[in-house]
Amino acid sequence: MPGRLAALRENPALHGRRFLLIGSGTSRHAAEIAVAWFREAGLSASVSPAGEIHGPLRDHGCDGALIAVTQSGATGSVLRLLDRAREEGIFRVVVTNEAESPAARRADLAYVTRAGTETAIPATKSFTAALLALRLFGREWTAAAGAAGSPPGMTEIRGIPGLLQRAIEQGPRLERFVGGLAADRTWFFLGCGPLRPLAAEGALKMMETAVVPAIALRTEELVHGPFALVDRETPVVLLAEPGGVSPGETRALEALAEAGAPLLRLATAGEAANRDAGCTIGSTGEPWQRPFEVAPVLQLLAFFAGRQLGRDVDAPAGLQKAVRDD
């Protein structure tokens, strides 16, 4: 794959153009994280839910390439936009886990993540594999566009499996945390900036796997209207911002402490050491690596909650792997 990616540096579609990323559900969350990476590198990119784009793609900020993120490669709204991109002469990139999918066959360039068959309907390893593919794509796009950002070298990228493994090793702590909860209550997932789509992904996984209500919010929004739903049995997951505790996070932590709500806080190593707030798990990677550390924690949290409630965590009722015609 790196060799094919390096060939993109000669592609004029990558030079000084605007890219649009599309996806639905988990795939859209991966696309939102990638857009934050791209913008940090000085690249022009935006993201939209696939089902909300109407009219010419150029009217939606896309004159370079359309990047479709779709684990199944069969989502109806994504396929329709890929067909529209072909009609408009826009380069089509597809990030998918299914090499023979309809989306891969429509692509000018298909990134097949090769994560293997998912045991469960809720996406787990295909989500982190899509993130890795998008990070590699951003590395080549940065080089092709001559952007000011400095993408990570392959050595840093090859360190990601170690981050995933350390996150998975938090399983016993997460199981104990869930064991002390009323797991069938409404969960809150809080995050700001590039962590906001991770909070949304955590809420989605909880709804899909444990089949309980879950709400994702920007951290500072909790202390407004939504806080009326918080009490001593309301589980809250807070994704701490890197670089110190923000005023919004401070207000949220104070309000949660006063309410006595059970809190799981995912923080950087320094913040974890300096703050006693609920159950705190520290991360060790660079800021851009946090999704790879946090995603498995959120997936395991949903798994343990679902198992405690007696759910079929691999095939929750009413779910299918792909929305083929939406």
Q: What residue ranges define each of the domains in the chain, with the CATH number in brackets?
A: 2-153 (3.40.50.10490), 161-308 (3.40.50.10490)
297-323: average pLDDT: 84
111-119: average pLDDT: 86
Angle at 308 between CA 199 and CA 282, to 5 degrees: 40
Residue 148, pLDDT > 70, answer no
Reported as a single tens digit per residue, the pLDDT across 222-242 is 998 899 999 999 999 999 877
What residue has token string 């690249």? 43
Residue 147, pLDDT > 80, answer no
Question: What rounded mean pLDDT belongs to the chain?
Answer: 85
Residue 151, pLDDT > 60, answer no
186-192: average pLDDT: 95
pLDDT of residue 8: 63
| Residue 325 C-beta-side C-alpha neighbours within 13 Å | 0
Residue 16, pLDDT > 80, answer no
Helical H runs in 107-195? Answer: 125-145, 154-158, 160-168, 171-179
Reported as a single tens digit per residue, the pLDDT across 277-287 is 557 777 666 78
296-320: average pLDDT: 88
CB-based contact 132:69 (threshold 8 Å): no
Confidence of residue 295 (pLDDT cuts 50, 70, 90): very high
Report, in this order, helix, strand and coil percent for the chain, each rounded to 5: 50, 15, 35
Confidence of residue 301 (pLDDT cuts 50, 70, 90): very high
Single pTM value for the model:
0.89
10-27: average pLDDT: 82
Lowest mean pLDDT among 51-60, 97-106, 113-122: 113-122
